């Protein structure tokens, strides 16, 4: 096991990601944030909370997207669907997708398909806590990155969140 | 998490965990059906045939819509307009259809056990859409989904099933399902339409007094009088049935608490339900129809995943 982010680093990184999103979308005027179920939602909850403290809470439009029914590995493994909550229109909006770890890019591919079924956004950006570069199987790149790491395909990146794991940390596991 | 079964032949062969998985997946599909694009690509490589040896409106359209919403390719077969009318056997018909590379069979048949028979002879996954007087599992699942949506739980819910229990596959599937999920059930209707040993066999309460069961229950699932399955007179007339066992608005107004009215359709208006009850504020009959699509999507999605 190799630590990638400690609790302190993680807190700083999440704050930076929130600031970078705000820097590119002043006041979040025409921007919505969408966390990917299940694991991206912990990160998006934190980012949304930080943004709500800076702006007024009603300025932050926040949804959650589950991509289970759009997966391309549906025959290999059955995933349990989580709740999708997008109670607003994304038509002509800037959408920032938020996920914890970017690996092969297949989840984001599915998320883009799912997202387009809700309307036609003006622009879609991607925000991730960890980017496992050189592991991509599709031409997908993030716009906001917490930490870029080099890994073997056989390794596993584990993100722990206070809310469910009782500590904040990111670790690289060998398998 | 997976279903413990390859086919959905009946509720009897399901585990409570299977039912829970289907209901929770159905809730997610219900959200899909509220989106601007009410369709997901999950089953775009799956071909499904709807094999209907018996007439149906709701169930067939609901299955077909569920299949299309999942992006499956859909074939429709109605016995009345096919070579079955020339005497082709069930197994021959199905094998011919399967040789066209069909992955799943949704089937309704007037003979009880027809899908069970088929499941022993063909590799495709089978969904029972009603077999004779045996089971109608997706109806029970959508009824349970509708009850859970309304009351938040099934455990401890008091459910009355009223009417033609003897000939009703909806009743049997509902009883199996609700027992597995911990609900209390009382069946009510004329003695001639309630099987004699049902209490011992299925563990439900029996009453012949509709007013009494309405006072007891949270939900009344009212069944259709199935004249087509009765080959001997089991009550004197539809009018008399309505007077003794039909539900009207005055009966509901006399009750100490509000109850919910369900009906699997098609309704015989003025027989088992009066129109002011069927269309009244207590009725969730049209919600049941809406939930049917989401529930069937869940069943098809979960069974299609069993391929490998």
Q: What one-character-per-residue DSSP string does B50-81 give? A: EEESS--SHHHHHHHHHHHHTT-EEEEEEGGG
The residue written with tokens 């045939």 in the block is B49
Mean pLDDT lowest among A123-137, B112-126, B230-244: B230-244
Residues 6+ apart with CB under 8 A from A81: A66, A68, A69, B24, B25, B28
Which residue of chain A has the CA closest to B31? A84
pLDDT category at B306 given cuts 50, 70, 90 is low
Q: Hey, of B295, B305, B307, which one would you mutate to test binding to chain A, going by the most A CBs within 10 A of its CB?
A: B305
Whether A112 has its CB under 8 Å from any CB of chain B: the answer is: no
> A142-146: long-range contacts (C-beta < 8 A, 24 or more apart)?
A142/A102, A143/A24, A143/A96, A144/A17, A144/A20, A144/A21, A144/A96, A145/A102, A146/A5, A146/A13, A146/A14, A146/A16, A146/A17
Q: How far apart are CA A108 and CA A126, in angstroms?
A: 9
Inter-chain CB proximity B31 and A76 less than 8 Å = no
Residue with tokens 């149906």: B56
**In 3-state terms, what secondary structure has residue A163?**
helix
The fraction of chain A above a pLDDT of 70, given in percent, is 99
| Eight-state DSSP code of residue B37 | S
Q: B195's torsion region: left (phi>0), alpha (psi -120 to 50) or beta?
A: beta
pLDDT of residue B30: 96
Greater model confidence, A143 or B237:
A143
Q: What is the SS3 assignment for A127?
A: strand
pLDDT digits (tens, 9 = 90+) for A43-60: 999 999 999 999 989 999
Which helix (H) or strand (E) element contains residue B23?
helix B16-32
Q: What average pLDDT does the segment B208-229 reach?
A: 92
What ipTM goes with this model? 0.83
What's the pLDDT at B305?
A: 67
Hey, is the C-beta of B24 within 8 angstroms of any chain A C-beta?
yes
Over residues A75-79, mean pLDDT = 74
Chain A nearest-CA residue for B303: A78
Region B206-216: mean pLDDT is 96
What's the whole-number mean pLDDT along residues A66-93? 88
Asked if the Cβ–Cβ distance from A70 to B42 is below 8 Å, we say yes
Of the candidates B154, B80, B28, the residue with the CA atom closest to the CA atom of residue A83 = B28
3-state helix, strand, coil in chain B (%, to 5): 45, 15, 40
B136 is catalytic: yes
10 Å Cβ neighbour count for B253?
7
Please report, for chain A, the start and end positions of each structural domain, with discontinuous segments joined by +: 2-173
Q: For the packed helices A40-54 and A7-24, what is the interaxial angle rounded to 10 degrees?
A: 60
pLDDT tens-digit readout, B94-115: 898 888 889 999 999 999 999 9
Catalytic (active site) residue B57: no
pTM > 0.80: yes or no: yes
Put simply, the answer to whether A113 touches B302 (Cβ < 8 Å) is no
Point out the catalytic residue in the list B30, B108, B167, B263. B108
Phi and psi for B84 in degrees, rounded to 5?
A: -60, -30
Determine contact: B308 vs chain A, CB below 8 A.
yes
Give me the CATH code for the A2-173 domain, please.
3.40.50.2020
Least confident range from A60-69, B125-134, B233-242: namely: B233-242
- A118/B24 touch (CB, cutoff 8 Å), yes or no: no
Residue pair A129/A122 in contact (Cβ under 8 Å)? The answer is: no
Task: Report which DSSP code applies to A145.
Answer: E
pLDDT tens-digit map of B257-271 = 999 999 998 999 999
Contact B28 A82 (CB under 8 A): yes
Statement: residue B181 has pLDDT above 90:
yes
Which residues in chain B have Cβ-Cβ distances shorter than 8 Å to A75? 45, 305, 307-308
């Amino acid at each position: 096991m190799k630590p990638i982010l400690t609790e302190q680093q993680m807190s700083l990184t999440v704050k930076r990601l929130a600031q970078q999103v705000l820097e590119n979308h002043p006041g979040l005027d025409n921007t919505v944030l969408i966390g990917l179920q299940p694991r991206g939602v912990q990160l998006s909850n934190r980012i949304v909370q930080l943004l709500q403290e800076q702006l007024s809470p009603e300025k932050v439009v926040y949804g959650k997207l589950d991509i289970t029914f759009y997966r391309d590995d549906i025959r290999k493994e059955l995933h349990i669907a989580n709740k999708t909550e997008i109670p607003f229109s994304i038509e002509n909006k800037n959408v920032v997708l938020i996920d914890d770890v970017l690996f092969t890019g297949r989840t984001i591919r599915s998320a883009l398909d799912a997202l387009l079924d809700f309307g036609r956004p003006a622009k879609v950006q991607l925000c991730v806590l960890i980017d496992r570069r050189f592991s991509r199987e599709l031409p997908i790149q993030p716009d906001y990155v917490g930490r870029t790491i080099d890994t073997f395909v056989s390794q596993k990146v584990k993100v722990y969140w206070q809310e469910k794991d009782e500590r904040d940390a990111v670790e690289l596991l060998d398998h | 998490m997976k279903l413990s079964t390859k086919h959905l032949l009946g509720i009897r062969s399901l585990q409570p965990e299977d039912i829970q998985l289907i209901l929770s997946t159905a809730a997610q599909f219900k959200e899909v059906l509220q989106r601007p694009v009410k369709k997901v690509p999950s089953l775009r490589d799956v071909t499904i045939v709807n094999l209907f040896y018996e007439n149906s409106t709701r169930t067939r359209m609901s299955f077909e819509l569920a299949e299309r919403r999942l992006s499956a390719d859909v074939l429709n077969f109605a016995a009345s307009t096919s070579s079955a009318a020339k005497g082709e056997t069930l197994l021959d018909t199905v094998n011919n259809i399967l040789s066209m590379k069909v992955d799943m069979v949704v089937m309704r048949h007037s003979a009880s056990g027809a899908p069970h028979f088929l499941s022993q002879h063909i590799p495709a996954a089978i969904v029972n859409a009603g077999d004779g007087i045996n089971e109608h599992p997706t109806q029970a699942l959508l009824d349970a989904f509708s009850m859970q949506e309304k009351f938040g739980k099934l455990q401890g819910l008091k459910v009355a099933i009223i009417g033609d229990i003897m000939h009703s596959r909806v009743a049997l599937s509902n009883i199996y399902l609700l027992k597995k999920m911990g609900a209390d059930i009382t069946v009510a209707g004329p003695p001639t339409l309630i099987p004699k040993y049902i209490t011992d066999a299925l563990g439900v309460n029996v009453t012949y007094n509709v007013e009494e069961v309405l006072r007891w229950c949270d939900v009344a699932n009212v069944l259709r009088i199935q004249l087509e399955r009765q080959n001997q007179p089991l009550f004197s007339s539809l009018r008399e049935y309505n007077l003794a066992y039909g539900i009207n608005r005055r009966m509901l107004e006399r009750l100490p608490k509000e109850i919910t009215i369900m009906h699997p359709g098609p309704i015989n208006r003025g027989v088992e339900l009066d129109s002011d009850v069927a269309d009244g504020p207590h009725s969730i009959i049209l919600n049941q129809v809406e939930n049917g699509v989401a529930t069937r999507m869940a069943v098809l999605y979960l069974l299609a995943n069993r391929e490998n």
